[in-house]
Amino acid sequence: MRGTTWVIVLFPLVWLSGCSSLLPSERAEVLSPFNDYLDAEIRYAQAQPGTTTRSELFSLGFDPLAQGNGKMLSFIDLRLMFVQPNVPISYLPDGLIQCLEAKDRCIGYAFDFNKTDTQRVGNFWADVLNFRKKRELQGWAFRAVFVLVDDTLVHKVSNGEPNIRRYEVKRNPLGPLQGAGEFFSDQLK
């Protein structure tokens, strides 16, 4: 009967040793109307300075009230964002100069959309016992700023990361004991 107990205890342990699917995963997404980076970029390209209105911009998915994840910027915020010391104002694009001259009639919208998926990979036991943690991160990020004067787009700028791929490895030679000294010193405070 004792031999059967060992088999019952050891079988799940051996079975779990190769199960990286039991490692935690994480998904983070800033909700947006866009399916992916390309979708955001295509809609961004449809907004044309000088012709696109505020309502048209909102219908493209860049609406901070309906879609969320956008900041509303005053002309002061825009000035701090685009005007840099030792750079003459005449260097700025015409739309930004128009905004600075319009003052209170100028407003901006800044958006930051991203989607990432993080998977823990590697050996289950090395991860659980804190010897080695491996993570793969994949996703995309898109940022855009729109400047409007009197409800008409006068300037836009964007940047982003269309294909985020990161691999992180964290090694702890002492495994579960790593960081124990910090834990105990924090408890003594």
Give the list of residues 6+ apart from residue 123 with CB closer than 8 angstroms, or none: 17, 20, 132
Query: Residue for token digits 């919208």?
Result: 109
Query: Widest CA span of the chain, in angstroms?
Result: 89
Spatial separation of the C-alpha atoms in residues 61 and 110, rounded to whole Å? 13
Q: Which residue has the higher pLDDT, 158 or 8?
A: 158
Q: Where residue 22 falls among pLDDT bands split at 50, 70, 90?
A: low
What is the CB neighbour count within 10 angstroms for residue 182?
A: 9
Task: With beta carbons less than 8 A apart as the criterion, state whether 138 and 184 touch.
Answer: no
- Using a pLDDT cut of 90, give the percent of the chain over it: 44
Amino acid type, 118: T
- Using a pLDDT cut of 70, give the percent of the chain over it: 74
Spatial separation of the C-alpha atoms in residues 12 and 60, rounded to whole Å? 53
Spatial separation of the C-alpha atoms in residues 136 and 120, rounded to whole Å? 6
pLDDT at 180: 63
Task: With beta carbons less than 8 A apart as the criterion, state whether 70 and 109 touch.
Answer: yes
Task: Give the model confidence (pLDDT) of 109-151 as tens digits.
Answer: 999 998 888 777 777 776 667 777 778 888 899 999 999 999 9
pLDDT at 19: 54
Mean of the per-residue pLDDT values for the chain? Answer: 81
pLDDT at 182: 62
